[in-house]
Each structure stands twice: as C-alpha cells, then as structure tokens.
Amino acid sequence: MNEVLTVLCLEDSPRDAEILREFLIDAGYDLNMDCTAAEKEFVSFLSNRRYDIILSDFKLPGFDGFGALRWSVEICPDVPFICVSGSIGESLAVELLKKGAVDYVLKDRLERLPSAIQRALDEAKEKKARQQAERQLRIYSETQSKLLHTNDLTEIYRLVAEKISELIGDGIVFTTLLDESSQTLGIVSYKGLNVPFEKLIKTLRIDPTKMVYNLKDITEDELSIYRSGKLEELEGGLYILATRRIPKTLCKIAEKLLQIEHIFTMGFVWQGVHFGGLVILARSDLSIYKVTIELLINQAVTSINRLRAEMKLNTQYALLNALIDSPGDTIIFSLDRNYCYTAFNEKHREEMKKVWNVNIEMGMNLLNCMSSYELRESAKKSIDRALRGESFSEIQCQQELSVFYELSWGPIFQNENITGATVFIRDISERILAEKILNDSELRFRRLFEAARDGILILEAETGLVVNVNQFLVEMLGYSYDQFLGKRIWELGFFKDIVGNHENFEELLQKEYITYDDKPLETIDGSRIEVEFVSYVYKVGNKNVVQCNIRDITQRKLGEIALQNSEEKFSVAFKTSPYAITITQPEDGKFLEVNDAFYSMTGFTREETLNNASVGMNLWVNREDRDFVVRELMAGRKVVGQEFKFKKRNGEIIIGLFSAHLIVIYKNTYILSSINDITERKQAEKVLEESERKLREAQEMAHLGFWNWDIQSGDVIWSEEVFRIFCLDQNEFIPHIDSILALSPWPEDHERDKELINRTIETHNPGSYEQKFLRPDGSIGHYYSTFHGNYDDNGNLTSIVGTVLDITQRKQAEEAIQILNKELEQRVIDRTTQLEAANKELEAFSYSVSHDLRAPLRSIHSYTNILLEEYENKLDDEGKRLCGIISSDAIRMGGLIDDLLNFSRIGRSSLNVSLLDMKSMAVLSFAEIASENEKARTILEIGKLHNVNGDAHLIRLVWNNLISNAIKYSSKKEKSELSIGSQASGNMITYYIKDNGVGFDMLYKHKLFGVFQRLHSGKDFEGNGVGLAIVQRIIQRHGGKVWAEGEVDKGATFYFSLPAEGNR
C-alpha cells in the first residue's frame, strides 16, 4: 500500500493521536494527517480541505462524537467517518452507526483499523462512482429530449454547453464553440471563472450574452495585454479539450491566449460534423465524462443536422411561395385531397377576402370558405376532377360584373400518387370583351350587307371566286344564291361586259377601285338593268377581297331630274350606314350633307354641323391629316382605309378608318368621305396584346413553358421558356415531338412517355408525366409536363398542347428529405440498441438485488428467532421485544424488496394488448382478494364497466391494488361500501372505485402515487406504499391517467382512464 491517505483526526490526547499515526504508517499508508481536538478548528479543516477519511475520538472537550459526526455529515457527507475510541458501550456505538458513521473501532483493538479504513474507502469510492454515473445519465437523458424538440440552432449550442458545464460541476468551466469555417468564437457559457478568466473575457471584449466573436478581430495588441496578465494564478491541471476538427491555427490562438502548453484533442471523430468545434476549458480531469460528452455532442450534431435540413426545406418552400406570388394578376393555389390549402398566393388571399370576406390560412378548407352552396358544389366538382388526374380549363363568368375567369385545374403528383390539385385562375375579361367587340362589328357589317339597297358581291381576290352575295342582288337579277356562290366572277354570264374574263379581273385588282355606270346587267328573264358598278379591294385578315357594289340606276337613267332632287341624292344606305358619311367642300371642309351615323359618332347636332366647316369645328385632331387627304384627292389619288384621329364634340378623341373620294354635284367638286369609328376595336386589340404579354411573362416567371404539336403538319412549337428550361438555343435547336423526349438519356423513359401521349391521342384524356433530362452541360434536371388534345368539330385530333414545368429544385428537395429520413432511421436503430443494452444491465441488477439482499435478511430473521428459541430464559421481556422488532422488520424489508422488483419490472416488460372484459376482471379480483370475513362486511356495487384494450396481467394488478386498498382503508367502518363503475367520454374511458373509508386530505394528493409514499401509518394500516405507484406506472404505460379524490373520514374515490381506441 503506497497510496497517500489524507486523514482528519479528531483526538484530544496527543499521545493517542501519535499512536494512531504510528499505527497507520506501520500499516503501510503514506500518511497526510491533520489533527485537532477543538470543534472550531475541526469545522474549518472540514470546510477547506478534502479528506479521504475522518477518524474521530468519542469523548472530546466541549463536544462528542455525535457533534463531530453531525458536522461531517453536513459539510462533506461523502467522506467516511470512523469512530476510534475507548469502550463506549454497544448502544452508543449502534446509535453512531445509525447516524452515519461507517464503522466503530476500539482503541485497544486498533489492528482492525486498516481493514475498516479500506472498506470505508472502497464503499465511498463505489458510492461516488455510482452517483457520478447516475448524474451523467440524468443530464444526458434530460438534454437528449430537449435537443430533440429544439428548433433553434443557438439554443442547441447553449444547451450542450450548459449541460457540459453542469456535468463537470464545480471547477472552472469555459465552454466555447469554434466554428472552423468562419473562425468564429461563440462564447456559449462560462461559470466559476477565476480571475484570469474574467480578464480573458474582458480583454477580448467578449460579451457572453452576445454569443459570437470573430477570432480574426482580436489584434496582436490585445493578445499582448492579455499575456501580461498573471496567468500563473491558474493552478495547474488546465485542459483544453477540443475536437480534432479544430484547425491548427485556432488551437495556436487558444494556446497563445491562455498560455497553455498542451491542447489535448479528445481524439474522436464526430460523425458528419459540421458542428465546428467544441472547446471545453476545465480545471479538473474530464476523462470520466468523455463518453457522456461525446453522447451529448453526437445528439447535438443530430439535432443540428435535422435543423439544417429543415431550414433547407423551408428555404425551398420560401422559393416556391415566391414563385407562386410572382405572376401578379394570376391567382394560384393548391389543395390537398381534403380540399385544404397547401399553398396560395397573395392575389388569391386578397380575392378570398374580397369575395367571401374570409382570411384564409394554410390548412383551411377551401369549400368551407365559400358561403354559396352552388359555387361550393361547382368548385368541389372541379377539384374532384383534378384529383382524379385530369388537367383542364374552364371559363367562369360573373355576368353582372362582366368579369370572366379562366380556371386551369391540374393534379399534383407525388411518387405517382395524386396528393392534391393546383389551380391557376386568370382574369380574361379583357380578352372576352375584345372578342365580343369584334363580333359586334362583324354583326353590324352583316346587317348592312343584308339590308343594303345596293347589290353587294364579295370576291376572293386571289381566285375571283364569289364568296358572298347579298339578298338585294339576288332579287335584282333573279338568280339563286347557288348560281353565284363558288363561281368565278367571269364565269357569271351577266357580268361579261364588266368582268368578262380573267384579264379583266386582274385589271380590276390592279386598279383597286373601279366604277362604271354605263354597263348594264342582264337579269334571268333577259331584261337589262342600268347599274352603277363600284369595286374596291381591301384586306380581310391577310387576304385580299374584292367588294363589288351594284346599284340599280335604271330610275336615275330614266329620269335625271327626279334623281337630281337634292333629298334623293342619297341612298337609303347612306342614311342608314353605320359609318359616318360626309360630303364636304374641299377648301374649308364646309359640310354639305352628313348622315345620322355622323351625329351619333361625333356628338354634334345637325344644326351645328350643316353650314359649318370641319376645320372650324376642329373635327380633325391634326390639320395636316386633312390637308394630306385633300392633296391626295386633288392629285387624282384615292384615300381608302386610312386611320386618322378625330375629335368629338365633348373633346374625346376617336380613331376613325377614313376613306374618301371626289364627287361632282351641280358641277361642283365635293369630297365624299366615310369614317368608321374603330376606337373600341383599337383599344380591345391593345388590351388583348397586353393581356397576352402578361400571360407570357407569368409563364416565364412561373418557369412554365408551353408546347404545341400540330398533328397534321407535324410542326412542334416551343415557347421561349421551354428552351430556357432545357438550356437550348432557340436558333439552333429545332423542336420535334421526338426531340423533347430525346432529351432524356434513358431510352426506357421514351417508350413510357410516348405511350402516354399515344393514350391521350386514343382516349381524348389529358395526360402528364415526369421526366429526367440531360442538360447540355451534363447535369440532370427534372421537368413535369401536362398535355391535352385539341379536336375539330368532328372530334378528330388536330393538335396536342402541353406545358413544361421545371421541377428540378422540387426533386432535389425530395431527395434531400429521403436521405435525411434514412439517417434518422439508422439513429433510431442505434438508440434502440443502446436502450436494450441498458435494459439488460438493469435486468442483471435486479437479479442480484433479489438474490443478495434477501440472503442476509433471512439470516437476520432466522438467527433472531434462534436467539428467541434457544436463549429464551436468558432474555428479559425487553430483550424479547427487541428481537421481535428485528425479526418483523426483516420480514417487512423482504416484502419491500419484492415490491420494488415488481415495480421495476412493470416499467420494462412489453405490453400484450387484448380486449379485456373489465367487469369480470373486477368481480374476480374482489373474489380473490377479499377474505370471507371481508366479503361478509362489504356492500359491493358494480355498475357498467366498459370493455377496453389492455394488458390482461397488468390491468388485473391495477384492479387488485385498487380493490384491496378500498377494502383495507374502509375496514374500520361498520360496513365497507364499495362502488365501481366507468364512464366513456371522448376517446377515453374513465373507471372509478369509491369507498367509504378513512379517505385522505386532498392537500397530500400529490404524494399518493409516489413510490414508498404513505398517507397512513403502518400502525393503522399495513402496507409499504408501492401499490399505487404500480397502478400509476401501469396506467401511464397504457397511455392513461390516474387520480384520486377524497376527504378525511369521508371515503376516497380512485379514478383511472384508458384510451378507448386501444394503444401502442
């Protein structure tokens, strides 16, 4: 034995102290002994130094062994206390041992001392190690669950540092986190700093609450200031423990800062660490905490990885939301299969507020937000269609507001399952309006065409075919429609004088405007009609047409005079024409005649117009326009279909399609002009253009491309966005239906996609697919394409149109989640293995307890009884009573051990769940537990007891414990009254057992279910306080709760609840 033994000796006799010292040195101890006889000095020794053992005399000046023991238990309870004295009698010795002394050695039998000391030291060491291990386990498990539920990175750093500090306990602890990438020093916590450390904090201007510092910011100057500090004040044994991932430079800085010779790296590699490093400065040896620290940090790393992954996901979500919110006028939202929102953009939120006055949120049910039954049903129908996999568009209109929406519905696919639907809603009112205006003007033309008092013939300029003829002409000439339509004009015999052959027609086309009044036409009955023939060429769409106006001028020819009457000058057509027609003087624009359309178009009255001049009325916005027209006309040229701006009476500007030519009336030359107001059409066109531009932009922003495959021509058109998604140059790459598929480098995918497209062609159903593609730079992207066919009136497929959405980011996010999940699973497996190992240890522990603790008890009990039997005549009554106490207490302790083992077993065994007949269980339990006598004096009332799922063995224990308690605590009443029943509410079933016994004070209800907690003395009622703890543990393991109500002397009711739907 060459250990150093630090001893505090309390001894008033210097001689005895000397003997003790000699004796211990002889026994082989390397002794370090403080000796005193005074109480005050004894206390001061105890407080200032750590001893391995305290040796104390019993009789001391001013106080005694009990006093010394009290001080030592109070100040350092872990240091073993041995009483070394002359004989003090057995009862005092036993009393000392009871109060915490570990041994008692007689001064005249000192040879026993070394073994007593060794035993005490061993026990103290063992106790300390056990406490240490328990504390580490507790700190670890506390931290573990906190870490699992933390969503804050700095909170994780803080927690780990704080717990490591707590673990290491007293001594200097200075925990920092060093982030290797940024060389950032995060002071996370410090405690118990001594002066030099305080100085370090100050020198580095570190604010512990601020958390993060950059080591690079610490200047040489500041370092030197610190170095001049007195670091030697630090008593030796200062360690820095660091992960080996801390860069060398950082270690150097730390070495410099703290002037520490060595930095011990803990030498284990954290798995997948992006944690930076952890530095713990501590004054004591950390090796015993190594495993726990490692576990803590591993746990933190797990949590941090989890958080990082979540943060990454959130970023993806934010990106996606930004994308959704960007297209301005378009409403976008998506729903899950339960019609609940999974995403929506700002526009949609506003719209829902405006229309339904609902503030929508994620997870809300869309249908519940709509208070109109009809609209709800229609929305539900559309969503259901999308959830069945259809992509389609529909147009909805709110008539009174003349607002039109186009709704595009589509399913959301995840791993080939439809998990929801997306909706794009565009306001297309403007487009619809533009179409409507166009329709209107066509209608007007049609009316004019049909109602005109002139014959009108429309020819295709390219071919000369008659494409239209009006009623008037048909009647005038007496031929049927069919004799006109589909024939070339020179094939119609009655036009032989005007357009007798193809050459004549070419001439007519070249001149663009031709008028004859000397070429009569022949009707079907052979009579001739004098006509005025006017033809002009204009464009419809991108085709030239020829319009021929044929007026019967037989009357005019017959009676010139009558025709020249001023009021007869104008045809009905002039008056009823929707175009504003004017006859003006070339010089000043003075009006000779205007038609009604002019008034309605310009807002001027007849009085204001006639005898006034267009110049004077400021009809022309630009005077130069009129000058140009006059100049052209005077030069013999025509003005046809020119756009000019005109000012209405109220100042409003309109755009007119203007045509004019010169006419001669009474030998005077006038300008005959017509103005067609096309302002609305112009605006509509502009609006249309604008909305198309917006749509295009929205598609670009949403990364949504379009393609169109014309089945007949085989042409494939891609929108710019498609090229962008596939990273292809529009000028170089010519899309073909195979080329979009060929972007995927995996031939088996082509077949699948082609198959999908073919199915769309065959079944007329829309389709969609997800596809990988190879970018020119070799990276792999993902896109999602939906498509549907367009059909002509006969139901033949004319084209397939589709969208292309770049989903590469989404795919990457999904993959990230999968990897994360795999990692988590592995961790769960690891953790389970650890838990199983811990369980095995506990198993072994309880095995030893049940063996080794019972054997000495049996000895105590048996030998006491032998004593009573064989030395009966030597023991007086008091002696026998004492033996009786020893014997009965040994039995009680045996019971305690059994109960404790049962209790610990309940927490570990697995649940065998089956459906339990609670009523028969309660009845059987009562029959089993109550003695005949007790049955006779008990009034038992059992009400309805719901069946429930649970472990039969354990639930029987619950009944046994609660029923035996009820019987026990009501045994002092004349009759025991027990009432048992249950009640189902929500998803729990609550059972109760009510008795009329002694009850309890609600003040102590929190103690009812603690292990070894009793509210009644063993004298009144037997028991050791494990029963209710067992009940609580069983019920909690089943996912239920247990509680009690009572009043002193008025009985108690115990409740326990179990989940109605079974449990794990």
Q: Which residues of 491-518 are buried (b: 16+ CB within 10 A; e: fewer)?
A: ebebbeebbeeeebbeebbeeeebeeee
471 or 865: CB nearest another protein: 865
Nearer to another protein, 250 or 1030 (CB): 1030
Contact region with another protein (CB under 8 A), list: 417-425, 619-627, 758-766, 887-895:
887-895
Helix (H, G, I), strand (E, B) or coil at 748: helix
Instruction: State which of positions 312-341 bind another protein (CB under 8 A).
Output: none
Spatial contact of 1055 and 991, defined as CB atoms under 8 Å apart? yes
CB of 951 to another protein, least distance (A): 15
Decide: is 1044 part of the binding site for another protein (CB under 8 A): no
Residue 896 in contact with another protein, rule: CB under 8 A:
no
81-85 and 403-414 as β-strands: parallel, antiparallel, unpaired?
unpaired
Closer CB to another protein, residue 148 or residue 866? 866
Q: Does residue number 879 form part of the binding site for another protein (CB under 8 A)?
A: no
CB of 870 to another protein, least distance (A): 10
One-character DSSP codes across 676-718: EE-HHHHHHHHHHHHHHHHHHHHHHHTTEEEEEEETTT--EEE
How far apart, in whole angstroms, are the C-alpha atoms of residue 428 and residue 990? 60
Long-range contacts of range 758-764, CB-CB < 8 Å, 24 or more positions apart? 760/787, 760/788, 760/789, 760/800, 761/789, 761/797, 761/800, 764/789, 764/791, 764/795, 764/797
Residue 463 or 850: the one with the smaller Cβ distance to another protein is 850
Q: Return the number of the residue (19 or 867) whose C-beta is nearest another protein.
A: 867
Q: Tell me the two tokens of residue 256.
A: 């410099």
CB of residue 884 to another protein, shortest distance in Å:
12
Exposed / middle / buried, residue 215 (Cβ in 10 Å: 0-12, 13-18, 19+): middle
Rounded Cα gap, residues 699 and 330, in angstroms: 10
Closer CB to another protein, 792 or 852, in the complex: 852
- By beta-carbon proximity to another protein, the closer residue of 347 and 861 is 861
Closer residue to another protein in complex, CB, 829/891: 891
H or E element, residue 608: helix 606-609
Binding mask 417-446 for another protein (x = CB under 8 A): ------------------------------
Closest contact distance (angstroms) between CB of 1020 and another protein is 23
Pick out residues in 837-876 that bind another protein (CB under 8 A).
846-847, 850-852, 854-859, 861-866
Is 342 in contact with 336 (CB distance < 8 Å)?
yes
- Of residues 390 and 899, the one with the C-beta less far from another protein: 899
The stretch among 671-679, 717-725, 884-892, 960-968 that binds another protein (CB under 8 A) is: 884-892
For residue 689, the one-letter residue type is E
Helix (H) or strand (E) holding 423: strand 417-427
3-state SS string over 555-578? HHHHCHHHHHCHHHCCCHHHHHCC
Cβ count within 10 A of residue 49 = 12
The pattern of x and - marking residues 803 through 842 that bind another protein according to CB under 8 A reads ----------------------------------------
- Determine, following the binding rule CB under 8 A, whether residue 899 of this chain makes contact with another protein: no
Q: Which of 165, 382, 673, 887 binds another protein (CB under 8 A)?
A: 887
Least Cβ distance, residue 836 to another protein (angstroms): 16
Per the rule left: phi > 0, alpha: psi between -120 and 50, beta: everything else, 415 is left
Beta partners for 273? none
Residue 861 Cβ vs another protein, minimum distance, rounded to whole Å:
5
Strand order in the sheet with 580-584: 591-594, 580-584, 668-677, 653-665, 639-647
* Cα 227 to Cα 238, 242, 280, distances in angstroms: 16, 22, 20
Q: Cβ of residue 862: shortest distance to another protein, in angstroms?
A: 4
Cα separation, 547 vs 449, in Å, equals 11
Q: Residue 522 or 898: which CB sits closer to another protein? A: 898
Q: Which residue number, 734 or 844, has a Cβ lying nearer to another protein? A: 844
Q: How many CB atoms lie within 10 A of CB 168?
A: 22
Q: Which is nearer to another protein, 534 or 893 (CB)?
A: 893
Lookup: tokens for 457: 């013939």
Query: Is residue 255 at the binding interface for another protein, with CB under 8 A as the rule?
Result: no
Looking at the Cβ atoms of 494 and 863, the one nearer to another protein is 863
Task: Give the total of residues touching another protein (CB under 8 A).
Answer: 23
- Helix, strand and coil percent figures for the chain, each rounded to 5: 45, 25, 30
Closest CB to another protein among residues 342, 846: 846
The three-class DSSP label of residue 876 is coil
H helix count then E strand count, the chain: 34, 40
812 vs 846, beta carbon nearer another protein: 846
In the complex, least distance from residue 92 CB atom to another protein, rounded to whole angstroms: 27
**DSSP character at residue 852:** I
- Least Å distance, CB 162 to another protein, is 41
Place of tokens 């290491």: 168
Return the range that interacts with another protein (CB under 8 A); candidates 266-274, 461-469, 576-584, 892-900. Answer: 892-900
Q: With respect to another protein, which residue has the nearer C-beta, 225 or 893?
A: 893
- Give the 3-state secondary structure of 273-333: CCCCEEEEEECCCCHHHHHHHHHHHHHHHHHHHHHHHHHHHHHHHHHHHHHHHCCCCCEEE
Contact between 135 and another protein per CB under 8 A = no
Distance, in Å, from the CA atom of 700 to the CA atom of 694, rounded to the nearest integer, reads: 10
Residue 898 lies near another protein (rule: CB under 8 A): yes
Which range, of 569-577, 618-626, 714-722, 889-897, touches another protein by CB under 8 A?
889-897
CB of 849 to another protein, least distance (A): 10
Instruction: In angstroms, give the least distance from the CB of 894 to another protein.
Output: 4
The stretch among 117-125, 797-805, 888-896, 974-982 that binds another protein (CB under 8 A) is: 888-896
Write down the least CB distance from residue 893 to another protein, Å: 8
CB of 1029 to another protein, least distance (A): 20
- Closest separation between CB of residue 905 and another protein, Å? 9
Cβ-based nearer residue to another protein, 633 or 900: 900
Query: With contact defined as beta carbons under 8 Å apart, do 796 and 712 qualify?
Result: no
DSSP string of 37-106? Answer: --HHHHHHHHHHS--SEEEE-SB-SSSBHHHHHHHHHHH-TTS-EEEEES---HHHHHHHHHHT--EEEE
Rounded to a whole number of angstroms, the minimum distance from the CB of residue 1030 to another protein is 16
Q: Which of residues 622-681 bind another protein (CB under 8 A)?
A: none
How many other β-carbons are positioned within 10 Å of the β-carbon of residue 808? 17
Residue 396 vs 846, nearer CB to another protein: 846
Name the CA radius of gyration of the chain, rounded.
52
The residue within the footprint of another protein, chosen from 311, 891, 915, 927 (CB under 8 A), is 891
Minimum CB separation of residue 860 from another protein in Å reads 9
Choose which of 10, 619, 890, 1026 interacts with another protein (CB under 8 A).
890
Binding site for another protein (CB under 8 A): 846-847, 850-852, 854-859, 861-866, 887, 890-891, 893-894, 898
